């Protein structure tokens, strides 16, 4: 058995940010960062444009830090390493190779995995579920051979992937989505229909109000079946139906609730000395009320830094995060600020979508809950963040909505 001060489980941005937070306040404590991928930690949010765009680059372009950075900061980076067991009371973890690590404090940063629909043919060849660098690199190789691509889903990954592939030569892209518009939750029905029309004008075939029934083929995908009874031929399918938190390591413990690992305002779990960040962390939302699990890059970065600082014992920082993220499709850059988890009762549109520059303000019973921006300057996004933090709603709005 080896002994370390800190064990970080998961080498994504949450885990790396936790290392950065620790090192900012503790220069000497021993750190093990264990991740089950073979590549150095990378920017997952940059995967698609860097690997699927017209000018696909190397894996080095998306690295968070190079190997020298980990060595310089005395972080024991263990790639291709799976933590198979963890004893939360005794603070002991077991690796897949049988080695045991006794730790003083730990940060759970296992991230999430692509959600797989329970339909026939989900394991056929050329059916892709995108999550890792290896997934995206494998997809790029197949795209060069298959020119009929179907994207199943209507979220950010689905639309970003479809937009990038549609710009490649000889690639025909279809989107199968159960909704009547695209991103209606963020844009509202009118602008959601405008975005759908925008995709159509870019050569993307849309199949809206359609739900997946299954994939057909012997060993490799040939057709995609829909619940309506329709079928389309496709040599390649990308399933982008959201993600699920990786909680297998803590299964059967209080850290494996259905909606993530509960943490307090300091990102510590009920198990003393055990913290959780990123896609698995279910944290108290100080701005909008309740608890939230937010699967986006900016949240994992901030959580990692705060958890690392708190783990060091030199700082005591509360996590107070306003949800925000961004997405780029074709020449449209979107910023989403606030809470879009509940349907708006009123929308206010500012700007002109014909000029591809606008903002959509989301209200619930008079309370501003979120703002969607399209091709707007950074100062407007920052102003919206300040306005949302100052607006008196949160729990009060949720209560009023339920009356």
Over residues 172-217, the pLDDT tens digits come to 999 999 999 999 999 999 999 999 999 999 999 999 999 999 999 9
**Residues pairing with 205 in the sheet:** 174
Q: What are the residues whose beta carbons fall under 8 Å from the beta carbon of 286, sequence distance 6 or more? A: 265, 318, 320
The pLDDT assigned to 45 comes to 87
User: Residue 55 above 80 pLDDT?
Assistant: no
3-state secondary structure at position 254:
coil
Give all domains of the chain, ordered by start, each with its CATH number: 2-113+245-312 (3.50.50.60), 116-239 (3.50.50.60), 331-398 (3.30.390.30)
Residue with tokens 């990786």: 246
Return d(Cα 59, Cα 37) in angstroms, integer. Answer: 13
* pLDDT tens digits, one per residue of 345-367: 999 999 999 999 999 999 998 89
* pLDDT tens digits, one per residue of 280-305: 999 999 999 999 999 999 999 999 99
Computed over every residue of the chain, the mean pLDDT equals 93
Q: What are the residues whose beta carbons fall under 8 Å from the beta carbon of 17, sequence distance 6 or more? A: 277, 300, 301, 302, 303, 304, 305, 308
Distance between first and last Cα of the chain: 57
Surface-to-core class of residue 362, CB atoms within 10 Å of its CB (0-12 exposed, 13-18 middle, 19+ buried): buried
Give the pLDDT band (50/70/90) at residue 156. very high
Neighbour-count burial for 266-291, b at 16+ CB within 10 Å, e otherwise: bbbbebeebbbbbbbbbbebebbbee
Closest CA to 360 of 215, 198, 183: 183
Closest CA to 156 of 335, 343, 350: 335
Q: Average pLDDT in the 82-99 region?
A: 96
């Amino acid at each position: 058995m080896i002994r370390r001060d800190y064990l970080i489980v998961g080498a994504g941005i949450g885990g790396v940010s936790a290392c950065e937070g620790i090192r900012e306040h503790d220069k000497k404590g021993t750190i093990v960062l264990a991740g089950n991928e073979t590549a150095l930690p990378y920017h997952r949010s940059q995967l698609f444009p860097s690997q699927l765009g017209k000018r696909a680059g190397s894996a080095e372009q998306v690295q968070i830090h190079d190997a020298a950075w980990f060595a310089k900061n005395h972080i024991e980076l263990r790639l291709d390493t799976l933590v198979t067991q963890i004893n939360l009371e005794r603070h002991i973890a077991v690796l897949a190779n049988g080695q045991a690590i006794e730790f003083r404090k730990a940060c759970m940063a296992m991230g999430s995995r692509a959600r797989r629909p329970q339909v026939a043919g989900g394991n056929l060849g050329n059916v892709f579920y995108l999550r890792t660098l290896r997934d995206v690199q494998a997809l790029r190789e197949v795209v060069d051979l298959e020119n009929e691509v179907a994207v199943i889903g209507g979220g950010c990954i689905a639309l970003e992937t479809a937009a990038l592939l549609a710009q490649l030569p000889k690639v025909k892209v279809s989107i199968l989505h159960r909704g009547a518009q695209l991103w209606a939750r963020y844009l509202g029905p009118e602008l959601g229909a405008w975005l759908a029309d925008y995709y159509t004008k870019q050569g993307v075939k849309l199949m809206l109000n359609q739900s997946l029934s299954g994939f057909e083929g012997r060993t490799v995908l040939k057709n995609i079946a829909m619940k309506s009874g329709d079928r389309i031929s496709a040599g390649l399918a990308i399933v982008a139906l959201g993600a699920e938190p990786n909680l297998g390591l803590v299964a059967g413990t209080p850290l494996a609730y259905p909606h993530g690992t509960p943490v307090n305002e300091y990102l510590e779990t009920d198990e003393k000395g055990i913290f959780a960040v990123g896609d698995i962390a279910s944290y108290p939302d100080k701005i909008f009320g309740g608890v939230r699990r937010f699967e986006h890059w900016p949240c994992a970065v901030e959580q990692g830094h705060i958890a690392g600082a708190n783990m060091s014992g030199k700082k005591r920082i509360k996590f107070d995060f306003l949800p925000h993220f961004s997405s780029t499709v074709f020449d449209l850059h979107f910023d989403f600020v606030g809470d879009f988890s509940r349907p708006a009762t009123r929308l206010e549109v500012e700007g002109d979508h014909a000029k591809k520059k606008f903002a959509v303000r989301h209200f619930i019973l008079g309370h501003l809950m979120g703002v969607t921006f399209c091709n707007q300057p950074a100062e407007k996004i920052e102003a919206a963040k300040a306005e949302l933090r100052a607006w008196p709603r949160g729990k009060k709005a949720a209560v009023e909505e339920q009356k």
